[in-house]
Chain A
Amino acid sequence: MTDARMTGSRTTDARMMGTSASAGVGTSATGTGTGAAGARAAGTGAAGARGAGSAADVRARVGVVLREVRRFARGIMGSDAYDKYLTHHRVTGCTHAPLSEREFWREKYAEEDRNPQGRCC
């Protein structure tokens, strides 16, 4: 029972790796700032699919881990704010051109000036 469940979750993992790569392609197609990351993701995803060879498989896995670490670090520091903004722009289907990265950050800091948030003791 436990064994079966574990195998199940492992296959889910593998599927998620593949699909996250395809989501990356989707992002790069819209020409956003994450395009490069998306392309890299697609590359490693393809390697993972081909990867009967264990070296390629390991490399793909390391790639996935590194990308996750980067995503976490950027998320905690708030470095991904512009990506979030672009996603919002795409999802809501705004017709006007999005702000450039420079304009976006200026606007973001101006917003923080207007609405201060406390830090803890």
Chain B
Amino acid sequence: MPSTPAPGSPSSGASDSGTGRSGAPGSPGAPDSPGPEATTAATMPPTVVDPAHEREHRRWTPTKIALWAVIALLGGAGWFMVAIWRGENVNAIWFVFAAVCSYLIAYRFYGKFIEDKLVRPNNRRATPAEYAYDGKDFVPTDRRILFGHHFAAIAGAGPLVGPVIAAQMGYLPGTIWIVVGVILAGAVQDLLVLVISMRRGGRSLGKMARDELGLVGGIAAFIATLSIMLIIVAILAMVVVNALGESAWGVWSVGLTIPIAIFMGIYLRYIRPGKVFEVSVIGCALLLLAIISGRWVAESGWGGELFDIERTWLAVAIIIYGFLAAVLPVWVLLAPRDYLSTFMKIGTIVMLALAIVVVRPVIEAPAMSEFASRTDGPVFTGALFPFLFVTIACGALSGFHAMISSGTTPKLVEKESQARMIGYGGMLMESFVAIMALVAAVSIDQGIYYAMNSSGAATGNTAEGAAQFVNSLGLTGVNVDAATLDQTAKDVGEASIVSRTGGAPTLAVGLAGIMHKVVGGAGMMAFWYHFAIMFEALFILTSVDAGTRVARFMLGDLLGGAHERFRDPSWRVGAWITTALMVAGWGSILLMGVMDPLGGINTLFPLFGIANQLLAAVALSICLVVFARKGHRWILLTIAVPMLFTAVITVYGSLLKIFSSDPQVGYWANHIAYRDALAAGETSLGLATNVEDMQTVVFNTAVQGSLSILFVVCAVIVMIVSLWRTLQALRGHNILDTEDPYVESEYFAPSGMVASPAEKELQGRWTEYLGQHPEKDLAGGGHH
């Protein structure tokens, strides 16, 4: 819309002038004060609080200064204990202090700084929820409810898995990256994508890429997004396969979620429509029953035999499940699973946070392990820089969030000034989940940690082999014997815990170790272990289903160019074809990983992190162009620095994966090493013990290497186009304005988690006003 005046710029519409730019956000300075007319009940009250009143509230009082000083001191004490203190083993409570105080300071000061200088919210401007109000997708939603909703949508298995795997390098590098990364990069990305999508009617990231970057950048962003989605689904599915392989209890309880979800779906459709909360409570009770009954099934002869399934067959089962779940109507499986998953997610995370505070476990891992300075770790290979930064993606910086921040959430926000709380604050919460996962993983015995996370090829999948392998690593203070491994497996109700890679089982052991001290004692460890496995499998299977649907939709859109009918989502044949293609895409990567002689997770997980971070670099690049085109200058560094950092770690990581001559790190180096060995007639190399395995390695490394190239090429194209457009904008050329036109708001809501006195006062007037004008009450009496 080139004819629309740039909203937010001083020259634009009278109602907008001098608001977004000059005033303090949250109270965008109204040039004219609300005036006495607002006191008449029939007249609409102002949509922004009186700036003078707000300034009064924001003034620094001695109490406030003291409060922030205490937060800073506590945080400082936390960081001192975590990072510098080298006495007795550190207590987990210090991690909580360090992280939470850092988050509070970042939210209050850095988030606010970005809001004031870059975002400049204008509360006189209606959000899509107001101007496109439709009662379904576009509805002004109470900010605190939306915060919960947004958090439940962004937090999945990612922040629970990455930190566990990264714990190989010790707790310190991971902790610093999770906290600093989220403050400077992850939360900034989520906030900015939310903001730019909100100014564009909740447009998706892909659509915004096309609008801002043009055809080439748009296509590259499309291919990057689609392929990244497939790899993420594949690796998440592999985490589930690794957690459930040869675990009768796990297969039984996670398998039961399917009939439970179908029952819930039927209940909601035919028995009591709309009683979502009620059915979630019933479903959750059934889920607990499924976990408890797993012990009886696993211990019975027939159950142990029937559900003890090899990983390859489990992968096949998940592929079939993924196809069926994605072609069935959403009410059958996806929607009820979503309810269960949200219910469990919020419940378990709150429970875990309380348990960590109550139990205060002692950290077993060193601050920096020997592997922090090596490239041959058994859990994942490669040097700390850049591979730690790609191993922990979700929790520090997750590009996938850009999909949620553009899409569902921006259509529900009541006021522009709420974006900081929802976007920035929501991501800080996810980061806290990652910190808790890290704490759980580093509070288990290090010997057990390595035995669980080294590949089966290294440990031979036996307790004796694992003990021998772990002890041969020569790590100080790390040793384990077969009896301990067997006992731990027995405690958690499994036949074996050796080489349960993928992060989920390790987290489950850690969580069981913490939770059983609060509820149930040692006898409950097995329950908590399977509770954790179930909880992660639940998210992941939902992500697999939803990811397949989104990928199918994107592919349908693409194929629609050749055959128009593919764009029609109700054309069943088309839906089956596109679903089958997408399932084949992630399914083949999954099978490849599961059958990989070198272990799978340790070779594929870096690809997952790189993919996710590349998406983040793409999202930040798009934000950079948008804000450059709004006329910002030096403040763009708050986007450019995290974007370039992400670009460096991902591109450097990709280049190492492609070009490194170290076969431990480079996919092609490994490919060539195995190909040459085969050509020389050798029958074993490294962890591959026969010719067939060697051939598999040759094939797998070629696929992995090719995927690396595809991702990095697409992402680099997007980044180059973005930087070029940004430079153009800085020189004043090619300024596009893709924002929706300005609409004056007739709605009020407070900005932060807690309403300020000025906001409360104004809210009271709005409640009175809406009482007389119910036709303006879009939230339906939601003004609380």
Contacts and interface: CB of A to CB of B under 8 A. Distances in A.
B337 to A, nearest CB: 10
A39 B400 CA distance: 44
A81 B232 CA distance: 30
A85 B157 contact: no
Given A23-B783, A88-B133, A121-B394, A109 B329 contact: yes
Interface residues of B, number: 81
A14 B777 CA distance: 21
Contact of A87 (B277, B404, B780): B780
Residue of A78, A86, A102, A110 with most chain B CB atoms under a 10 A cut-off: A78
B553 A116 contact: yes
Nearest to A102: B273
B767 A117 contact: no
B202 to A, nearest CB: 11
Contacts of B550: 116-118
Contacts of B569: 113-115
A71 interface: yes
Residue of A2, A16, A27, A104 with most chain B CB atoms under a 10 A cut-off: A16
A33 to B, nearest CB: 8
Contacts of B775: 90-91, 93
B763 A16 contact: yes
Contacts of A22: 771
Contact of B767 (A16, A78, A101, A113): A16
Interface in B726-776: 757, 760-761, 763-764, 767-768, 770-771, 774-776
Contacts of B8: none
Interface in A43-87: 68, 71-79, 81-87
Contacts of B763: 12, 16
Interface string B108-145: 00000000000000000000000001111001011011
A120 B339 contact: no
Interface residues of A, number: 59
A32 to B, nearest CB: 8
A24 B452 CA distance: 56
Interface string B328-343: 0111001100110011
Given A16-B784, A117-B546, A111 B331 contact: no
A104 B761 CA distance: 37
B398 to A, nearest CB: 7
B149 A9 contact: no
A87 B135 contact: yes
Given A19-B771, A109-B330, A12 B757 contact: yes
Nearest to B155: A120
A23 B277 contact: no
10 contacts: A12-B764, A84-B136, A85-B136, A105-B273, A109-B335, A112-B334, A115-B553, A119-B338, A119-B547, A121-B398
Interface of B: 61, 63, 133-136, 139, 141-142, 144-145, 148-149, 152-158, 229, 232, 236, 268-269, 273-277, 280, 329-331, 334-335, 338-339, 342-343, 346, 394, 398, 400-401, 403-404, 407-408, 539, 542-543, 546-547, 549-550, 552-553, 569-570, 612, 757, 760-761, 763-764, 767-768, 770-771, 774-784
Interface of A: 2, 5, 8-9, 12-13, 15-16, 19-20, 22-24, 26-27, 34, 38, 68, 71-79, 81-93, 101-102, 104-106, 108-121
